[in-house]
Amino acid sequence: MNFNAANQTMSDISSPEPGRTERQHWMAVLARAGAGDIAARLADCPALPDFRRLRGPETGLVMVRGRQGGGGAAFNLGEMTVTRCTVRTECGRTGHAYVAGRDARQAELAALVDALLQDPVRAPTLRRTVIEPLADAQRARRAQTVRKAAATQVQFFTLATMRT
C-alpha cells in the first residue's frame, strides 16, 4: 500500500489519472469514503445481491514507508491501522477492500461495491450513483481544506535597511 497524501492532487479524487486503472480509481474513492456515505449512496441503487464474507473484516497494522524529498531512500515512517475485507456475491464476483482505520462496516461495503463494479451490467449505475457522487464530495472537501490552508498562509518579506 502506498500512501502519499502530500502529493495527492485533485485529479486523484475526481477521475483516474494516467497510469491508474478505473478499478484503482474506484478503490481509492471507496477507501476515503465513510461507511455511512457508502451506505447512503447504495440506498439509491437497485436491490443488491446477497454476498458472503470470504475474509474479515479484520483489523491489523501495516508499515507505512516514506521517501525523503519524494525520491530518496525509503525509510519506515511508522505503523498504521488498516481493516481489510473480501466478499463474494451470489453471482460469483469477488471484491476486496483495504481501508485506513478500524471501520469494519466501511471495509465490508467497499468490498461489496468493488465486487459489484466488476459486473458490466451493474457497473454504469454504480459509477453514476455511488462512485461519482462520493468522488465529487471528496473533491469538494479537499478544495475546502485547500482554501482554509491558503487563508492562513503567511507571506514573509525580507526588508533590507541601508545605513549611510
Q: What is the pLDDT of residues 76-118, one digit of tens each?
A: 999 999 999 999 999 899 999 999 999 999 999 999 999 999 9
Confidence (pTM): 0.75
The tens digit of pLDDT for each residue in 15-64 reads 555 557 888 999 999 999 999 999 999 998 888 889 999 998 999 999 99
**Structure confidence at residue 68 as a pLDDT band (50, 70, 90):** confident
Q: Is residue 149 part of a domain?
A: no
Instruction: State the pairing for strand pair 94-100/74-89.
Output: antiparallel
The whole domain housing 22 covers 5-142
How many domains are there within the chain?
Answer: 1
Name the grid cell of 82: 488498516
Q: Is residue 164 part of a domain?
A: no
| Angle made by CA atoms 46, 52, 55, in degrees to the nearest 5 | 130
Q: Is residue 128 part of a domain?
A: yes
- For the chain, how are helix, strand and coil distributed in percent, rounded to 5? 45, 25, 30
Q: Is residue 94 part of a domain?
A: yes
Closest CA to 99 of 30, 152, 46, 40: 30
Q: Is residue 36 part of a domain?
A: yes
Q: Is residue 152 part of a domain?
A: no
